[in-house]
C-alpha cells in the first residue's frame, strides 16, 4: 500500500488510506473519493463485500481491485459485482499510474453522463411549457370560438350543420385532452409527489386499484385474482399516485387480455422490498418492443391493433414508481402474456 501511495504522490491526487474493509467504508463515506482501490484479501469483511457496499453508497465511485495472481478468478467475480478493473500484483509504477488514469477517466464519464441526463430532463420540462402554450392555446381559442359560433348561429343552422359543429367540438376536445395527457407526463412534478409521502398500506392501494378497474374487467368477462401475503409492511409513499400506478398496469392487462382470461396480482415482501406482480395471459410484448415500453410516446405494433394509445401510461407509471425509489420491470412472451413487477422499498424499522 505504501508503494502505491508513493507512486501517486507525484500526481495531483488527494489520497487517503485504510488498512481494513470497515475502516475503508467509513473513509468512503467521509472522504467521498472519486476512485477506490480495494485489496480482495483483507482481515475482517471481504473485499467483495466492500465493493458491494461502496456501490450501494455511491454507484458513481470507481472501484479498482488489486489482487495477487492466485485470485484472478475472484477479481473477475469482483468485476461482476461492480468493480471497474483489476490490477494483478506485482505491478510496475507505470501500470499503476495507467490504471489510475483510466479509472479517473471513467469516473469523469459517469459524472458527465449523469449531468447530461439531468439536462435532458430539464429540456423535457421546457418542452412541456412549449407544448402547453404553442399547441394548446390556439386550439383552445378555436374551441372557444366554435362554442360561440354555435350559440350565435343556433337559429340558422340546420340539423346536419349542427351535427358537423358537434363533431368539430368533439374532435378538438379530444385533441386538447391528449395534449393535457402529454403535459401530465412531461410535468409530473416528482417533488410535489414526494411532499405527500407518508406510510402507506399497499394492500389498500391494491384493493382501491382493483375496485376502480373492476367494471372494465367485467365487461370483458375477466377475473382479477389478488393474492396478497398479508400483512405487508407499509411503504413510504403517496397513496393516490401509487393507486394510479397499479391501475395503469391493471388497465393494460385488461386491455390486452383475451375475454374470459385471468389476471393475477400478487404482492409479497422480499429483501426489504414489496414486490407487486401483475400477470396476464394476453397478447404479450415482442422481444424487440420490450426494452422501450416504459419510454415516453412508445406504442407497440401489436398493441396498436387492439386499441389506440398515447404511449404514455407506462411512462407515467415508471416515473411515479421511481419517485418512490422503486423500480418497475416486465417479463413477457409474445402471444402468451406479460408480467409486470413493481418493487417498492419498505420503511426501514
Partner 1 sequence: MDTKRKLIIIDDDPDYVAGIKSVLETANYSVDVAYNPKDGFKALQSKHYDLLLLDIMMGRGAEGVALARKIRKDAKLRELPVLIITGLREQIAFLFPGQPVHPHFVETDELLEKPVEPKLLLEKVSSLLKLAEAKRS
Is residue 231 reached through a cis peptide bond, with omega within 30 degrees of 0 on the bond before it?
A: yes
Q: Is 259 helix (H, G, I), strand (E, B) or coil?
A: coil
Across 286-311, b (16+ Cβ under 10 Å) vs e yields eeebbeebbebebbbeebeeeeebbb
Least distance to partner 1 from the beta carbon of 145, Å? Answer: 4
Residue from 1, 108, 126, 147 touching partner 1 (CB under 8 A): that is: 147
**By the rule CB under 8 A, 126 interacts with partner 1:** no
**By the rule CB under 8 A, 152 interacts with partner 1:** yes
Query: For residues 188-247, which are near partner 1 according to CB under 8 A?
Result: 189, 192, 240
Rg (CA), the chain: 27
**By the rule CB under 8 A, 107 interacts with partner 1:** no
Bridge partners, residue 328, by sequence = 342
**By the rule CB under 8 A, 131 interacts with partner 1:** no
Q: What's the DSSP call for residue 264? A: E
**By the rule CB under 8 A, 122 interacts with partner 1:** no
Residue from 183, 251, 277, 346 touching partner 1 (CB under 8 A): that is: 183
Least distance to partner 1 from the beta carbon of 41, Å? Answer: 54
Least distance to partner 1 from the beta carbon of 154, Å? Answer: 10
Q: How far is CA 170 from CA 146, 178, 202, in A?
A: 11, 12, 38
Burial class of 168 by CB neighbour count within 10 A (0 to 12, 13 to 18, 19+):
middle
Residue from 151, 155, 158, 270 touching partner 1 (CB under 8 A): that is: 151
276 contacts 330 by C-beta, under 8 angstroms: no
**By the rule CB under 8 A, 11 interacts with partner 1:** no
**By the rule CB under 8 A, 135 interacts with partner 1:** no
Q: Which residues bind partner 1 (CB under 8 A)?
A: 132, 136-138, 140-145, 147-149, 151-152, 180, 183-184, 189, 192, 240
Amino acid at each position: 500500500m505504501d508503494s502505491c501511495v508513493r507512486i501517486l504522490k507525484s500526481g495531483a491526487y488527494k489520497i487517503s488510506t485504510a488498512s481494513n474493509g470497515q475502516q475503508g467504508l467509513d473513509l468512503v463515506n467521509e472522504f467521498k473519493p472519486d476512485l477506490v482501490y480495494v485489496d480482495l484479501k483483507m482481515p475482517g469483511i471481504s473485499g467483495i463485500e466492500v465493493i458491494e457496499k461502496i456501490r450501494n453508497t455511491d454507484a458513481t465511485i470507481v472501484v479498482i481491485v488489486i489482487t495477487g495472481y492466485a485470485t484472478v478468478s475472484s477479481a473477475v467475480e469482483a468485476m461482476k459485482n461492480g468493480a471497474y478493473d483489476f490490477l494483478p500484483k506485482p505491478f510496475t509504477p507505470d501500470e499503476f499510474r495507467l490504471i489510475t488514469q483510466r479509472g479517473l477517466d471513467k469516473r469523469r464519464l459517469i459524472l458527465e453522463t449523469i449531468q447530461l441526463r439531468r439536462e435532458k430532463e430539464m429540456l423535457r420540462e421546457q418542452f412541456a411549457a412549449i407544448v402547453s402554450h404553442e399547441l394548446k392555446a390556439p386550439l383552445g381559442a378555436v374551441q372557444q370560438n366554435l362554442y360561440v359560433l354555435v350559440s350565435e348561429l343556433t337559429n340558422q343552422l340546420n340539423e346536419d350543420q349542427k351535427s358537423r359543429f358537434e363533431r368539430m367540438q368533439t374532435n378538438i376536445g379530444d385533441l386538447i385532452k391528449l395534449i393535457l395527457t402529454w403535459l401530465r407526463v412531461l410535468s409530473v412534478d416528482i417533488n410535489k409527489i414526494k411532499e405527500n409521502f407518508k406510510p402507506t398500506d399497499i394492500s389498500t392501494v391494491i384493493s382501491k386499484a382493483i375496485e376502480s378497474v373492476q367494471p372494465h374487467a367485467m365487461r370483458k368477462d375477466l377475473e382479477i385474482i389478488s393474492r396478497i401475503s398479508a400483512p405487508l409492511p407499509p411503504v413510504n409513499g403517496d397513496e393516490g399516485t401509487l393507486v394510479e400506478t397499479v391501475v395503469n398496469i391493471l388497465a393494460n392487462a385488461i386491455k390486452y387480455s383475451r375475454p374470459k382470461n385471468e389476471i393475477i396480482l400478487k404482492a409479497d415482501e422480499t429483501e426489504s422490498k414489496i414486490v407487486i406482480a401483475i400477470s396476464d395471459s394476453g397478447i404479450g410484448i415482442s422481444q424487440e418492443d420490450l426494452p422501450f415500453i416504459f419510454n415516453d410516446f412508445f406504442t407497440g405494433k401489436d398493441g396498436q391493433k387492439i386499441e389506440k394509445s398515447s404511449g404514455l401510461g407506462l411512462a407515467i407509471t415508471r416515473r411515479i414508481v421511481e419517485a418512490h425509489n422503486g423500480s418497475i420491470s416486465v417479463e413477457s412472451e409474445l402471444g402468451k402474456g406479460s408480467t409486470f413487477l413493481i418493487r417498492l422499498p419498505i420503511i426501514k424499522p
